[in-house]
Chain A
Amino acid sequence: MAHKIEVKNLYKIFGTHPEKALGLLKEGRTKDEILNKTGQGVGVADVSFHVDEGEILVIMGLSGSGKSTLVRCLNRLIEPSYGHILLEGKDVTKLNKEELRILRQTRFGMVFQHFALFPRRTVIKNVEYGLEIQKVDQAERQERAQAALEQVGLKGWENSYPSQLSGGMQQRVGLARALALDPDIMLMDEAFSALDPLIRRDMQDELLKLQEKMHKTIIFISHDLDEALKLGDRIILMKDGYIVQEGTAEEILTNPATRYVEKFVEDVDISKVLTAETIMKNPIEIASYAHDGPKAALWKMNQAGISSIFVQHKGRLEGIVTAEGAAAALKNGEKDLAGIVIRDIHKVSPETPANDLFPILAENSTPVAVVDKEERLLGVIVKGSLLAALSEGALGNGTS
């Protein structure tokens, strides 16, 4: 399937002689060197990525990393210097002024960090703005603006002025203003960064809830890793205008590509992000309830060097047998595992966060089983593997 947006080798160089900077960039010079040498500021350097329909892509980086410049290049609020932006295969960089205006009116909705509401217009007039400039008639305009306001939970505030609203509410107006046009792409530039943490979390939840219904293609700029992890289907990390890593939250956390990403990642409480699925190991050996007796189970444990073994029955996890149990059963001459299998064991789903695994592992001496909805055994977690995963994640701290 073709990508919704595909960005190819995009550069933005601020200054009068971008070609000079481009040459130096290709020689591998840094942003600072180029600025000193040529006076040209590198905003975005050789950036390529894609966004799929209905996806939330978070572009993350510290200030000065070029993320805000990049998002403005997409609707050409900032004119890219080189490269291509394909929107459903059509090159946005080749549009003339009029085509670009139409594109902005119909395809892109933008939400700004500091809300950028028009202070002398009421809330509803703000939301109507995009429709007003498309010369939609008054009645329809009002109806659509009203619907957008209700969507973000601001019914009853139509005739207030932005200055009378709290920050969170102002950004809801900003969101409604973009939604009123029903664009298929939302560009959100640090949309929640100016809000205090509690409100920010609410807005993130709200956005995810809206997204379930709307299925917009969202490009979300953020400097906050927690936000990126929460919202992003995929995350792009930028530094000095370059993309340093691209991937899902987990890929970035568990396998940071560079020291920069590690530094970024080190502040995150890794145990919140790691899930049972990432920590679990494949079970080395499994005993079969139907075929294996105590002797076979004991032999398998011996072979694998483990002190307990999970027992499967018809594809489902039946329970666990310990070495002591199996040895005792063997002495008593029992032929199957029915008498010694412990059925009351802890099972967790693959999505369980590592945080929740600590108490379970502390209570039990046996490993924890990770099972899917059909109770099939997917993997096992022992204390050692959890600690190893955490220290791997924390390794970034030690080495940087």
Chain B
Amino acid sequence: MEHLRIPIGKTIELTIDFITEHFSFATKAFADVTETGISFLVDTMMFFPPWVLIFIFAAIAFFLSRRKSIAAFTVLGLALIWNMGLWAPTVSTIALVLISTLIAMLIGLPLGILSALNSTAYRIIMPILDVMQTMPAFVYLIPAIPFFGLGPVGAIFSTVIFSMPPAIRLTCLGIKQVPVELVEAADSFGSTRSQKLFKLQLPMATPTIMAGINQTIMLALSMVVIAAMIGAKGLGGEVWKAIQRLEPDKGFEAGIAIVIVAIILDRIMQKAGAGQKTA
């Protein structure tokens, strides 16, 4: 059987080698841009003393969610993280999540719109998303290493791939859910395709798209933690260190910090999405 083996793995390996060799300009450019982005974001956030940043986050939380309870939780949760001595890794995790989400949205939104409006694109993109979402998360770490080496850029690359599917799916769903009669109405008045998209379909799809962004953020957070294995710093790095050194105290503290960050991000995004709906 050995000589009859279909060379799936081999082909993928060759493809990765080929990309590494011939598209280094692209991977290099991606690395430069994201690295600049990360260090700028981390430097900015670390420039403020922690308590100032905690109140800035609380203010953002209140502004987006209009809920005092969420703002209060933000203050208490982040204060606890500061107290546990995990401020710096938390900031770096938040930076990784924000940048990954931003990139995932920049790619995911247009792809979602495309697959909603074009049935051929839909038929191509949806099966790929199925594969992407069933593939074990760890597998995405592998190509990141030859492309970008160990470090945060590779982590962001894997995170973007892992967290992008819901952004595409829910954008597509949101647009497709716009009632046919409304689309007909827009057509009957002689709207162009882009007028229909920007004046009707996207506004109508906003709550669903926000739900997609929420999911993307949550997936990004989980992936950023896993990506500690290829050298992403942050809270995941703390957990990874704790595993290797058998330090359950450190490990659980970092775990709690991750949960706090997750809850804050989730609640803010959920309320921001729901707030859009009733407007």
- Residues of A near any B CB (own CB < 8 A): 72, 75, 77, 100-106, 108, 110, 112-114, 116-120, 129-130, 132-134, 181, 187
Q: Which of A103, A106, A114, A120 has the most CB of B within 10 A?
A: A120
**Interfacial chain A residues near B204, Cβ < 8 Å:** 118-120
Query: Is the CB–CB distance between B190 and A103 below 8 Å?
Result: yes
Beta-carbon contacts of B250-279 to A below 8 Å, as 1s and 0s? 000000000000000000000000000001
The answer to whether A105 touches B182, judged by C-beta atoms less than 8 angstroms apart, is: no
Partner of A120, one of B185, B192, B279: B279
* Known A116-B182, A118-B182, A120-B279: A75·B203 in contact at CB below 8 Å: no
Contacts of B188 on A, CB cut-off 8 Å? 75, 77, 104, 108, 110, 187
**8 A–B pairs (Cβ distance < 8 Å), ordered by A:** A77-B184, A101-B191, A112-B184, A116-B179, A118-B200, A132-B199, A134-B190, A181-B189
Pair B181/A114 contact, Cβ less than 8 Å: yes
A112 touches B192 (CB 8 A): no
Task: Assess whether B187 is interfacial by the CB under 8 Å rule.
Answer: yes
User: CA separation between A111 and B193, bound complex, in Å?
Assistant: 21
With beta carbons under 8 angstroms apart, the residue of A112, A113, A118, A133 that contacts B190 is: A133
Cβ contacts under 8 Å, B195 to chain A? 133
- In the complex, are the beta carbons of B185 and A105 less than 8 A apart? no
Decide yes or no: A129 and B199 within 8 Å by CB, A118-B182, A119-B204, A120-B204 being known contacts: yes
A77 to B181, CA, bound (A): 11
A118-B200, A120-B203, A133-B195 known; A112+B187 contact, CB < 8 A: no
Most chain B beta-carbon contacts within 10 A, residue among A100, A103, A104, A181: A104
**Chain A residues near B187 (CB-CB < 8 A):** 77, 104
* A180 CA / B243 CA spacing, docked (Å): 69
In the complex, per-residue mask of B167-202: 1 if CB is within 8 Å of any chain A CB, else 0: 000000000000101101111111110010001100
Nearest 10 pairs between A and B by C-beta? A105-B190, A104-B190, A110-B188, A116-B185, A116-B181, A130-B189, A101-B190, A133-B195, A133-B191, A120-B203
User: Considering residues B186, B187, B188, B192, which has the most beta carbons from chain A within 10 angstroms of its beta carbon?
Assistant: B188
B276 CB, nearest partner CB in chain A, Å: 9
Q: Given the complex, which residues of B lie within 8 Å of A113, measured CB to CB?
A: 181
Please report the C-alpha to C-alpha distance between residue A129 and residue B195 in the assembled complex, in whole angstroms.
10
**Residue numbers in B under 8 Å from A105 (CB-CB):** 189-190
Complex formed: what's the CA distance from A129 to B182 in Å? 12
In the assembled complex, how far is the CB of residue B76 from the closest CB belonging to chain A, in whole angstroms? Answer: 36
Q: Which residues of B contact A130 (CB under 8 A)?
A: 189-190
Q: A116-B179, A118-B200 are in contact. Are A133 and B184 (CB under 8 A)?
A: no
C-alpha spacing A130/B188, complex, angstroms: 9
Nearest neighbor of B181 in chain A, beta-carbon distance: A116
Cα A73 to Cα B140 in complex, Å, equals 50
Q: Are A129 and B181 in contact, with the CB atoms below 8 A?
A: no
Provide the bound-state CA to CA distance between A77 and B199, in Å.
19
Chain B residues whose C-beta falls within 8 Å of the C-beta of A119 in the assembled complex? 204
- Structural contact, B189 and A112, CB atoms closer than 8 A: no
Instruction: For the complex formed, measure the closest distance between the CB of A92 and the CB atoms of chain B, giving whole angstroms.
Output: 13
Are the C-beta atoms of A133 and B199 separated by less than 8 Å? yes
Given contacts A120-B203, A129-B199, A133-B195, contact A104 B181 (CB under 8 A): no
Q: Contact: A133 with B189, CB < 8 Å?
A: yes
A75, A114, A116, A181 — which one has the most chain B CB atoms within 10 A of its CB?
A: A116
A104 adjacent to B184 (CB under 8 Å): no
Interface centre among B179, B185, B189, B279, by most A CB within 10 Å? B189
Whether A112 pairs with B185 at a CB distance below 8 angstroms is yes
- Which residue, of B185, B186, B199, B279, has the highest number of chain A Cβ atoms within 10 A? B185
By a CB distance below 8 angstroms, the chain A residues around B191 are: 101, 133
Q: Are B199 and A101 closer than 8 Å at their CB atoms?
A: no
Q: How many angstroms between the C-alpha atoms of A117 and B204 in the bound complex?
A: 12
**A72 contact set on B, CB distance < 8 A:** 184
Q: Name the CB-closest residue of B to A130.
A: B189
Q: Which residues from chain A contact B181 at a C-beta distance below 8 Å?
A: 112-114, 116
Contact B190–A102 (Cβ < 8 Å):
yes
Question: Which residues of B lie under 8 Å from residue A102 when comparing CB positions?
Answer: 190
Q: Of all chain B residues, which has the CB nearest A75?
A: B188
Q: A77-B187, A116-B181 are in contact. List 9 more A-B contacts (CB 8 A).
A: A101-B190, A103-B190, A110-B184, A110-B188, A112-B181, A113-B181, A116-B179, A117-B185, A133-B189
Q: For residue B41, give the distance in angstroms from its CB to the closest CB of chain A.
A: 33
A308, B165: Cα distance in complex, Å: 91
Using CB atoms, name the residue of chain B closest to A129: B189
Q: Are A101 and B192 in contact (CB under 8 A)?
A: yes
Residues of B contacting A108 in the complex (Cβ-Cβ under 8 angstroms): 188
> What chain A residues lie within 8 Å of B190 (beta carbons)?
100-106, 130, 133-134
Closest to A107 in B: B190
Q: How far is the CA of A118 from the CA of B184 in the complex (A)?
A: 11
State the CA gap A72–B183 with chains docked (Å).
13
Proximity string of chain B (65-102) to chain A, C-beta cutoff 8 Å, 1 when within and 0 when not: 00000000000000000000000000000000000000
What separation, in Å, do the CA atoms of A120 and B200 have in the docked complex?
A: 9
Q: Is B185 touching A110 in the complex (CB atoms < 8 A)?
A: yes
B200 contact set on A, CB distance < 8 A: 118
Residue of A nearest to B279 (CB): A120
| Chain B min CB distance to A263 (Å) | 29
Q: What sequence of 0s and 1s flags, for each residue 98-135 of chain B, a beta carbon within 8 Å of any chain A beta carbon?
A: 00000000000000000000000000000000000000
